[in-house]
């Protein structure tokens, strides 16, 4: 297990011939997670000082590996699930057609826009029947409950700020300016979008990350 301090602040002075500007860089595990011009900052607040614990990866039945991170007393995958098999080894049906997607009464998955190149970045999209089988997550793991998601938000300071601390920093995958994102938690939420259960259409890739919950 590797333990990295969550927040390290280093102040650099960047200079060019046209102007001089102080810049505040925030690093996590040696990677810049956000930066701001000092002139834009009114104050700096330090929240709960806890360690991000980067654990060994977990592997699904397809052989895909996922990094995980501990936030508070919870352990989360930092990548979206992309398995095509349940944890008992049985195959999950692939559903490309929109009408079949909305009419299916068994578990199924698809890639965003039926484009498999989205697999490694955003993972797969699963219908509710697949999620509620109890066999979708790798053995020893489970789909989070609403209570567990509430705990995650509380650990990060509440719903008003948790989203910013969960989102990947920058615009590599997010279409919006994404200025609020810090990835303070190491969760690295990506905007994988969703597939409508009413129309079978794909929506909001690059704009939304949806964290699915089951039960209480």
User: Is 210 a domain residue?
Assistant: no
**Which residue segment(s) compose the domain that 151 sits in?**
57-203
Residue 182 falls inside a structural domain: yes
pLDDT at position 54: 54
Query: What's residue 167's pLDDT?
Result: 85
| Structural domain contains residue 42 | no
**What is the distance, to the nearest Å, from the Cα of residue 12 to the centroid of all Cα atoms in its chain?**
29
Pairing of strands 31-37, 125-126: unpaired
User: What's the predicted TM-score (pTM) here?
Assistant: 0.70
DSSP 125: E
Q: Residue 96: what pLDDT?
A: 96
Helices (H), 7-126: 98-103, 119-122
Q: Does some domain include residue 122?
A: yes
What pLDDT does 85 receive? 97
Domain count, the chain: 1
56 by Cβ neighbours in 10 Å (0-12 / 13-18 / 19+) ranks as exposed
pLDDT for residue 57? 84
* Contact status, residue 54 vs residue 4, Cβ threshold 8 Å: yes
d(CA 187, CA 74): 12
Q: Which residues of the chain have pLDDT under 70?
A: 1-21, 27-34, 42-56, 204-216
Please give the pLDDT value at position 215: 44
Answer yes or no: is 85 within a domain: yes
């Amino acid at each position: 297990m590797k333990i990295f301090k969550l927040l390290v602040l280093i102040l650099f002075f960047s200079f060019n011939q046209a102007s001089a500007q102080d810049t505040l860089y925030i690093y996590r595990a040696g990677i810049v997670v956000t930066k701001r011009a000092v002139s834009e900052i009114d104050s700096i607040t330090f929240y709960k000082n806890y360690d991000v614990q980067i654990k060994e990866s977990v592997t699904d039945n397809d052989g895909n590996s996922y990094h995980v991170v501990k936030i508070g007393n919870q352990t989360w995958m930092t990548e979206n699930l992309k398995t095509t098999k349940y944890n008992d080894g049985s195959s999950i049906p692939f559903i490309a057609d929109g009408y079949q997607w909305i009419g299916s009464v068994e578990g199924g998955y698809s890639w965003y826009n039926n484009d498999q190149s989205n697999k490694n970045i955003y993972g797969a999209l699963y219908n509710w029947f697949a999620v509620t089988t109890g066999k979708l997550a790798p053995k020893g793991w489970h789909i989070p409950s609403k209570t567990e998601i509430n705990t995650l938000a509380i650990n990060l300071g509440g719903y008003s700020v948790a989203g910013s601390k969960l989102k990947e920093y920058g615009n590599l995958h997010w279409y919006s300016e994404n200025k609020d994102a810090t990835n303070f938690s190491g969760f690295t939420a990506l905007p994988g979008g969703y597939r409508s259960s009413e129309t079978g259409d794909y929506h909001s890739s690059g704009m939304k990350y949806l964290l699915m919950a089951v039960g209480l």
